[in-house]
Each structure stands twice: as structure tokens, then as C-alpha cells.
């Protein structure tokens, strides 16, 4: 058991410690978690030295795995990346707990210094999907392969196509509005 409960949840999503030998995407997730722990260290010589070590290691892992998970992004526990390669996460993106990404996924902004996507918990993103701008993807939503998401996706809904269109899930309205506090409203109970 590691000292990082978020990485423990990531390991559980991959099936345990043995995954480090066969799942290169887990290397990127581990380095992301190490970078977040580094940022929480008190200022001093150890933090400076570890930061100097972190950046070349980040570039090496990014190049070898094709997965860019900058430590500035907010990623919840239990992240699972299937079929690593070509994955880019913007530094200001937010990913909830137990999310699944597949190869070629981009979570980015639409223009320099623009807002980045926010993913709720238990979101699944298909291969080569692009989620761009200040888009909110609700809890339990699914994004289809090769979708280009430019608008919000409510809880439990699916988005497919280019540009993506929202397909209603049971008990969820595709036109659900973002609440005043920036969150997605809870899905309506199925009748």
C-alpha cells in the first residue's frame, strides 16, 4: 500500500501493482501523482531538487507513453487509461473520480488561456474523442469515439458525433442547464 490513497485507487483500477510492468499509461498516472505530492511539499532544498528531477522525468514519460498528464491538472482517484498514446490533458482541466480515457483523447482549451473541460465522476471517454473549451461533462456521462464535444453534457447522457450531439439517457434531459454554482443538476428520477 502506498502513502497516496489516490494512487492506490488508480492501482485498483488497473488491477494492482503488477500493472506497472504491463501498463505504460500507469507510469504517466504515477508520475502525475508524484508531481502533485511534490507540489504539496514545504518549500526548501529538497523540493527544488525534486522539481528539477521531475521535469525531465515528465518529458521522458510523456515521450515514451504518449500520455501528457501535467501536475497542474486536477484528477480524481481511480483514473484508468486504456490503450495509451496520443492523450493530452490541459493543465487546467479537471477529471473526476473513476474516469476512463482511451487512446487519442484530448481535454483542451479552444484558444490560448481559455477555459478547459471539467469531467464529473465515472465518465467514460471513447478513443480519439476531443473535449474542448469550458465544457462540463456530467457524472456518469459517456463520450463516443471520435466525438468533438463543444457543449455541456448532462449527468448520465452520451455524446456522439462531430460536432457531438447529446443523446438522452434514461431520466436525463439533454437540455439540462448548468446550475448557478457551476455544477450540473442531478438527473431526474426515472419514472
Q: Over the range 68-86, which residues count as b (16 or more CB within 10 Å of their CB) and which as e?
A: bbebebebbbbbbbbebeb
- pLDDT digit string (tens) for 98-120? 999 999 999 999 998 899 999 99
Share of the chain above pLDDT 70, in %: 86
CATH of the domain at 98: 2.160.10.10
**178 within some domain:** no
Of the candidates 102, 71, 103, 108, the one whose C-alpha atom is nearest the C-alpha of residue 89 is: 108
Task: Report how many domains make up the chain.
Answer: 1
- Whether the CB-CB separation of 37 and 104 falls below 8 Å is answered with no
**189 within some domain:** no
CA distances from 186 to 120, 144, 157 (A): 12, 22, 12
Cα 167 from Cα 186, distance rounded (Å): 16
Check residue 23 and give its pLDDT: 85
Amino acid at each position: 500500500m502506498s502513502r497516496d490513497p489516490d494512487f492506490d485507487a488508480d492501482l485498483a483500477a488497473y488491477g494492482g501493482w503488477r500493472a506497472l510492468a504491463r501498463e505504460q499509461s500507469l507510469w504517466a498516472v504515477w508520475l502525475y501523482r508524484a508531481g502533485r505530492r511534490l507540489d504539496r511539499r514545504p518549500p526548501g532544498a529538497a523540493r527544488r531538487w525534486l522539481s528539477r528531477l521531475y521535469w525531465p522525468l515528465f518529458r521522458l514519460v510523456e515521450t515514451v507513453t504518449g500520455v501528457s498528464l501535467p501536475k497542474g491538472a486536477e484528477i480524481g482517484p481511480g483514473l484508468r487509461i486504456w490503450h495509451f498514446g496520443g492523450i493530452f490533458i490541459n493543465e487546467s482541466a479537471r477529471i473526476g473520480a473513476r474516469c476512463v480515457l482511451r487512446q487519442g483523447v484530448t481535454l483542451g482549451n479552444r484558444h490560448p488561456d481559455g477555459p478547459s473541460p471539467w469531467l464529473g465522476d465515472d465518465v467514460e471517454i471513447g478513443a480519439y474523442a476531443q473535449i474542448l473549451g469550458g465544457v462540463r461533462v456530467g457524472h456518469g456521462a459517456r463520450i463516443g469515439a471520435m466525438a468533438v464535444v463543444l457543449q455541456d453534457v448532462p449527468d448520465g447522457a452520451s455524446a456522439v458525433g462531430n460536432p457531438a450531439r447529446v443523446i438522452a439517457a434514461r431520466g436525463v434531459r439533454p437540455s439540462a442547464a448548468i446550475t448557478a454554482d457551476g455544477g450540473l443538476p442531478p438527473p431526474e428520477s426515472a419514472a
